[in-house]
Amino acid sequence: MDLGLKGKRALVCASSKGLGLGCARALAEAGVDLVMNARGAEALEAEAQAIRDEFGVQVTTVACDVTTEEGQAQVIEAAGAADILVNNAGGPPPGMWTDWEREDFIKALDANMLTPIALIKALVPGMMERGWGRVVNITSQSVKAPIAVLGLSNSARAGLTGYVAGTARQVAGKGVTINNLLPGIHATDRADALDRGVAEREGLSLEEARAKRAATLPVGRYGTKEEFGAACAFLCSQHAGFIIGQNILLDGGGVNATL
């Protein structure tokens, strides 16, 4: 399927690894020029060069922490008149509901709610003026079904979800769609970090912890960043203009719910 994206320009935040990288690569394969971002310059530049070599698109890299005001200013400047915005950042640390103080919540809100909102506010007005735009926010299955140890994520992402639900319907008339992709368990560094914690607590090897978690999913395996990226590219495509303010689970059937 031709996604109709050749020559478009996308800012993909937090995209040197994992799900963000999956989105960047799928958009590049569809002919989209990219602004890629991560804090670590080395992995970012290596992945950007691999994308240039493989797909022949233009890639600009911005090595910065996108959750800071300075970082946001840098990616916004590099994005220019971007047609597509993929919001992403690292997820908050796990813990118990009694662990977190105000500062912990502020950090989680900054990273997983207020950063995507700041970038939406900066880039969507231009998209509306030009009559076309796509925003995809990488959130989490924790929006649909809370994950006990990820209370900071449950809270901050629910806030973003509420903002998107209202905002998406106010910008849709100008050709701009805003939707959320909700990853379940995907094989990335983030999943490894969480599995390592479980392995330590339960006296298992990393492989055993992984296999145990994969067995809890109807599909019996972790998702891949390629599958995730393909879904993101479709949401950004010309074919997805009627999908507004939705929360789309990519979870291998992990969330046991009818709707």
Contact residues toward ligand NAP (CB under 6 A) are: 14-20, 37-40, 43, 65-67, 88-91, 138, 140, 183, 185-186, 188-191
C-beta closer to ligand NAP: residue 152 or 171: 152
Distances (CA, A) of 70 to 8, 20, 46, 126: 26, 20, 23, 21
At closest approach, how far in Å is the CB of 244 from ligand NAP? 22
The Cα–Cα gap between 256 and 85 comes to 30
| Residue type (1 letter), 164 | V
At closest approach, how far in Å is the CB of 182 from ligand NAP? 8
C-beta closer to ligand NAP: residue 52 or 190: 190
Non-local (6+) Cβ contacts of 127 within 8 A are 82, 83, 133, 134, 135, 171, 174, 175, 176
Distances (CA, A) of 122 to 11, 72, 80, 128, 200: 12, 9, 10, 11, 42
Residue 14 region, left (φ>0) first, then alpha (ψ -120 to 50), else beta? left
At closest approach, how far in Å is the CB of 154 from ligand NAP? 11
C-beta closer to ligand NAP: residue 193 or 239: 193
Beta strands, E only, 24-168: 33-38, 59-63, 84-87, 133-138
At closest approach, how far in Å is the CB of 192 from ligand NAP? 8
C-beta closer to ligand NAP: residue 66 or 232: 66
State the angle between helix axes of 18-29 and 225-236 in degrees (0 to 180), rounded to the nearest 10. Answer: 50
At closest approach, how far in Å is the CB of 150 from ligand NAP? 8
At closest approach, how far in Å is the CB of 109 from ligand NAP? 13
C-beta closer to ligand NAP: residue 191 or 255: 191
Q: Residue 194 burial by CB count (10 A; 0-12/13-18/19+): exposed, middle or buried?
A: buried
C-beta closer to ligand NAP: residue 18 or 133: 18
